[in-house]
Amino acid sequence: MASVITEKCLGERYATCVAVCPVECIYPGEYKGEAFMVIDPEVCIDCGQCQPECPVGAIVTSDDNPAWAKINAELAPKFKGNPKVEERAKTDPPKKPDNKLV
């Protein structure tokens, strides 16, 4: 059961999760014209280290959100070769008003 990134990351992309991932399975890219991150389910070891790092709570287990698990799995091969992105400060306010810092 891998972790997955949900719509709360769409347009936010803090990338704070990347630094703590021991297997480097989180990749950046664009989805629906917005910045996004995905977790590669083929590489994720479900250690859970990334979940508390996301300031908007966008990372959940795949069992909690199977629709986004499918999206992460489909996008991971496309995003895998993308260049790494700079980490955004956890204290930076969300860009979308419906997202709140957790």
Amino acid 25: pLDDT? 97
Q: What is the pLDDT of residue 6?
A: 96
Statement: residue 1 has pLDDT above 80: no
Fold of 3-79: Alpha-Beta Plaits (3.30.70)
pLDDT digits (tens, 9 = 90+) for 25-77: 999 999 999 999 999 999 999 999 999 999 999 999 888 889 999 999 999 99
SS (H, E, C) 48-80: CCCHHHCCCCCEEECCCCHHHHHHHHHHHHHHC
pLDDT tens column, 80-101: 999 999 999 999 999 998 899 9
pLDDT given for residue 63 in this prediction = 87
Please report the pLDDT score of residue 64 as a whole number: 83
